[in-house]
Amino acid sequence: MPSSKFNPEEQYEEETLTIVDESGRSLPCYIEQSLEIDNMTYLLLVPADIPVVVMSINNDSDDELEAAMLEDDEAIAEIFDNAKAVLAEQNLLLQHTAYTLTAVGELPPIEEDQILTLDADGIDDDVEEELQSLAQFYHADQKYGIYTPLTPLLFFARYDAQNRLELVSPDQENLMPILEELLSED
């Protein structure tokens, strides 16, 4: 059994804050790292609760698993009650939070046969993401799986000139060096 690269139940003593999406949903986060540059505070945030994703699952004729992440709010809303009930059986409370679904509770131990490895889209073919399977269920004859990433879900943010928190992309305004510095700090 591999050890988890990310322990969402680790107790943080750092400060917390809440980010809000366009729909008004909130996501409590811990401040993993902060950095002040040119009177701007940049933050690396990690969700306080366990991030989860729901994927539709298909098996093709070659027994190869084909999974697609649900990202559309309407599709998530349609299966949400079923997903919430399935996770409740494992004493996990599913929440529809900002930017990601989250769960509250204690994760089951990681078992090798419960890990899904996804090839990450992008330039680097060597990048893979590992997800721990939490549950599977059917809705309208479609199979779904609920997973949590084994690596932390990170948000890059800063306080703007009016001291409002905003999420930023590393590509925006050449912020990659700042993100790299935040990631390199222990």
CA atoms within 13 A on the CB side of 157: 23
C-alpha span between 134 and 105 (Å, rounded): 12
Distances (CA, A) of 35 to 17, 41, 171: 16, 6, 18
Q: In this predicted structure, what is the pLDDT of residue 3?
A: 35
Answer with the residue of higher pLDDT: 127 or 75. Answer: 75
Dist CA 102 CA 27 (whole Å): 9
Q: Is residue 86 scored above 50 in pLDDT?
A: yes
How large a percentage of the chain has pLDDT more than 70? 84
Output the CA–CA distances (angstroms, integers) from residue 158 to 14, 23, 109, in the order listed.
17, 20, 35
CB 36 within 8 A of CB 178: no
pLDDT surpassing 60 at residue 1? no
* Residue 144: predicted pLDDT: 96
Residue 8: its pLDDT value, please?
40
Task: Give the predicted TM-score (pTM) of the model.
Answer: 0.82
Q: Which segments of the chain does DSSP mark as H helices, in order?
A: 73-88, 176-184
What residues contact residue 169 under an 8 Å CB cut-off, 6+ apart?
A: 156, 175
pLDDT tens by residue, 153-163: 999 999 877 88
The residue with greater pLDDT, 120 or 168, is 168
pLDDT per residue over 10-58, tens digit each?
Answer: 444 568 999 999 999 999 999 999 988 888 889 999 999 999 999 999 8
* Averaged pLDDT of the chain: 85
Nearest 5 degrees, angle CA 73-CA 52-CA 14? 115
By CB neighbour count within 10 A (0-12 exposed, 13-18 middle, 19+ buried), where does 29 fall? buried
Q: What confidence category does residue 65 fall into, taking pLDDT thresholds of 50, 70 and 90?
A: confident
- Which pLDDT score, from 0 to 100, does residue 93 have? 97
Q: How far apart are CA 176 and CA 186, in angstroms?
A: 18
Say how far apart CA 70 and CA 154 lie, in whole Å.
19
Going 90 to 4 to 167 to 121, the CA torsion angle's sign is negative
Name the pLDDT band for 100 (thresholds 50, 70, 90).
very high
